[in-house]
Structure 1
Amino acid sequence: MDERKRDSMIAYLRHRMDDFGISPDDLASFLTTRPAGPDTGRYRSAGGDTWSGEGETPQWLKQAISAGQSIGHFELPLGAPAQPATPCDADWKNDPFAGSPLARSSHR
């Protein structure tokens, strides 16, 4: 990136940070508290499989993409935990698919 584009991008980012009330210290604090390690991922499947986005694309993601699903569907928001929500977070009392084939999982 040339110097002029870089300076323009910095000015734009500073302006947007001001619009949202984000200080450089807020940004630095966020970046230093981001979790690091093998449990972080950039993509997560419904089954809880994760992928960092580096290296070979995992089979579960290859299959989903070849079936027509967008890779963006699996992308985690920045800073989101790679671990899926626990099953106890779901409220199944009014599940319209209860008892149907859609309610059955192939990996139970």
Structure 2
Amino acid sequence: MDEQKRQSMIAYLRRKMAKVGIKVGDVAAAISEERACQKSARYRSAFGDTRDGKGDMPQWLRQATSAGQSLAHFAVEKSSMSNRRGRPAIDWSRDPFAGTRLATVRPT
């Protein structure tokens, strides 16, 4: 986005905010509150629903776990990244089975 479009959009938003009675501080507080909520989230769905791990399990997570999905599937990056650091990187570029059915079949 070029600078002229950016400034035009900012002016437009400020006019709309003034018309409705929203102050810049209100927007900043809402963004800050949302970020704090996202940082405390331990589980997140694909639709943006979050859970911090306290209290009753929300319905979306209860339904997913009762359908067979694990809690680890919904874990937020910060907990899953710590598990991945210990694993060595694998170079799959020379895998002769890449792209074939043999690459996806798991041994039983």
TM-score normalised by L of structure 2:
0.39
Structure showing greater Rg: 2
* TM-score, scaled relative to structure 1: 0.39
Greater RCO, CA 8 A, separation 6+: 1
